[in-house]
Structures are given as C-alpha cells and as structure tokens.
C-alpha cells in the first residue's frame, strides 16, 4: 500500500481550486494505492475564526456537496485507487461539545479523519498559530514567550488526544509539532523533546495514528516534517501507526517529500 492521507481539495477556502480529478490522476500516476481527502471541516458553531479572511474551515453548506462529490469519485476510480472520504477536524479547547455534536452527525459518512490543533486559547481569545510568522510573533508577546506558546500548544494537543468527542472522533492526530512552523523566524531553539515524547506515549496508549506531514519541509521558516524524523522512528518503536500526509493545498504539492519520509515503504 502506498498512501497519502492528508489532502485538501477545491473545497478549501484558503487553498487552490485545483480539481479533485487532477489530484486523483497524479496519485495514480505516482503509484499511490490509497488516498484520503481531508478538507478542513466547518469550524464549530459559535466559534469565530480569528484569521483575517475567516477562511480556516469550509463553509457548512459545502459539506454535503463535498461528500457527495467524493462518493461519486470513489466509485468512478475504484478499480484504480482507493479513495477515502475524510475531514481535518479542528480541536478547539472550549468547543468540545459542538465538535462532538458535529461528528455525531457527519461521522457515519466518513471513512477517515484527522484531528488537528491550529487554534490556541489564551485570555479567552483564540489565535491561529500557523497563519503567519507575524501572527505567531505577536502571539508570543501576548502569551509571554515563544516557550510559553510551545507549552500551550502541547497542552492543547494532549487535551485533543484525551477529549471525549464521541464515537466518531478522528483516529489520527494531525501534524503534532505544527508549533515548529515558524522556528526559523523566531530563531529560538526550544527544547520540547520531552513534550513530544509524552504526546507520542499518550497516542500509543490511546491508540491513535500519527499524521506524518511533509508540508513543514516546504515551509521556509520550518524546513522539517511534522514531526521531525527522529519522532517518526520513536512512533514506530511505540507501535503507533504512521500515516503519510502531504497536506497538499494544490496539485503541485501532492505527495510532497514522501520519498524523504518513507524511504523504505
Ligand atoms: Zn489548510
Ligand atoms: Zn492542519
């Protein structure tokens, strides 16, 4: 099996309009046997997206058309590739109930899903930590230090792993070192080794899969996958299923860095 299980789509409000079939055909050409489209789920009801364009998740009314379109494509390409219908669901501290309600409704229609932390809560406001280096640096000032953002991030990821989001809670934790995205912008070397280890241990105990995400390698202020390869090895040793994800928001990025991350698979 050759799998890329974190792929965005024309339904992404901050991605490209590259159509599904372009992604699918590229995956087939590159010998992938299994792909999951994991569009950003609509944000929980009542949550106000703090990003300037408020475009972090798909519009609620696009959800059913997204799923219907994928059902068609899944059938159409069934002899060539396995297509799973998925979502990347945000874990937002304080919105667990809304997220559980959402998953209870939509979960039965999904084949696969990722749970990711992009928003951190501080002083009753939320910040999207992967939006831009400027936002990240401003947030560091309001939280205190970069180190404190890291602490808050890992605490939130742990909360996401332990949260009761019902029977349709995603089985895979998305890019659990996303907080590294701007590490070359702030240039502080934060020692988070223990925190990453703890997260992986918790994932192992609670039976989660790891999204090993190539996108960070392409980000100019990051230059490493989420998580870095030493932790992919650790996850493997802990018997956590590791699942590659290119996190492509355009066809050009599909499968990005697969060969560096999965040299033997
Ligand atoms: Zn995105
Ligand atoms: Zn993400």
Confidence check: pLDDT of 211 > 70? yes
Cα–Cα separations (whole angstroms), residue 152 to 17, 119, 174, 218: 34, 10, 16, 25
- First-to-last alpha carbon distance for the chain, in angstroms, is 8
State in Å: Cα 8 to ligand 1 middle. Answer: 7
State in Å: Cα 133 to ligand 1 middle. Answer: 16
Backbone angles phi, psi at 62, to 5 degrees: -90, -10
Q: Which CATH class is domain 3-261?
A: alpha beta
| Beta strand spans in 41-110 (E) | 82-90
Ligand nearest to the CA of 170: 2
- Average pLDDT (198-210) is 98
3-state DSSP call for residue 70?
A: helix
* DSSP classification of residue 62: G
- Res 226: pLDDT: 97
Of the pLDDT bands very low, low, confident and very high (cuts 50, 70, 90), residue 262 is confident
State in Å: Cα 175 to ligand 2 middle. Answer: 7
- Average pLDDT (40-50) is 97
Mean pLDDT across the chain: 97
State in Å: Cα 252 to ligand 1 middle. Answer: 15
Nearest of 200, 194, 209 to residue 115 by alpha carbon: 209
State in Å: Cα 55 to ligand 2 middle. Answer: 13
Pairing of strands 172-173, 82-90: unpaired
State in Å: Cα 24 to ligand 2 middle. Answer: 20
Nearest of 224, 218, 144 to residue 179 by alpha carbon: 224
- Average pLDDT (216-242) is 97
- Res 264: pLDDT: 53
Confidence check: pLDDT of 265 > 90? no
State in Å: Cα 62 to ligand 2 middle. Answer: 19
Measured CA to CA, the distance from residue 92 to residue 122 in angstroms comes to: 12
User: With contact defined as beta carbons under 8 Å apart, do 254 and 14 qualify?
Assistant: no
User: How is the chain split into domains, by residue range?
Assistant: 3-261
State in Å: Cα 118 to ligand 2 middle. Answer: 7
Measured CA to CA, the distance from residue 120 to residue 149 in angstroms comes to: 9
Bridge partners of 85, per DSSP, are: 37
State in Å: Cα 243 to ligand 1 middle. Answer: 18
Other Cβ atoms within 10 Å of 193 Cβ, number: 10
Confidence check: pLDDT of 218 > 80? yes
CA 104 and chain centroid, separation: 20
Tens-place pLDDT, residues 78-107? 999 999 999 999 999 999 999 999 999 999
């Amino acid at each position: 099996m050759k799998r890329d299980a974190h792929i965005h789509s024309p339904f992404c409000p901050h991605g490209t309009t590259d159509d599904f079939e372009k992604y699918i055909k590229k995956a087939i050409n590159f010998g992938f046997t299994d792909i999951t489209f994991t569009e950003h789920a609509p944000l929980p009801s009542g949550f106000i997206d703090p990003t300037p364009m408020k475009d972090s998740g798909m519009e609620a009314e696009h959800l059913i058309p997204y799923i219907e379109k994928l059902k068609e494509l899944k059938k159409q390409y069934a002899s060539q590739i396995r297509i799973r219908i998925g979502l990347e669901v945000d874990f937002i501290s304080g919105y667990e109930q809304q997220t559980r309600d959402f998953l209870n409704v939509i979960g039965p229609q999904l084949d696969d899903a990722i749970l990711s932390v992009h928003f951190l809560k501080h002083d009753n406001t939320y910040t999207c930590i992967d939006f831009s280096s400027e936002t990240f640096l401003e947030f560091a000032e309001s939280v205190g230090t970069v180190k404190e953002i890291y602490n808050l991030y890992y605490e939130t990821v742990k909360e996401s792993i332990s949260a009761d989001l019902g029977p349709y809670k995603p089985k895979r934790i998305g890019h659990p070192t996303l907080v590294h995205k701007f590490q070359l912008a702030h240039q502080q070397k934060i020692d988070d080794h223990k925190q990453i280890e703890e997260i992986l241990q918790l994932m192992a105990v609670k039976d989660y899969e790891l999204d090993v995400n190539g996108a960070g390698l392409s980000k100019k202020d990051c230059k490493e996958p989420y998580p870095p390869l030493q932790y992919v090895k650790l996850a493997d040793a802990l018997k956590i299923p590791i699942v590659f994800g290119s996190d492509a928001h355009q066809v050009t990025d599909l499968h990005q860095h697969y060969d560096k991350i999965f040299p033997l698979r």
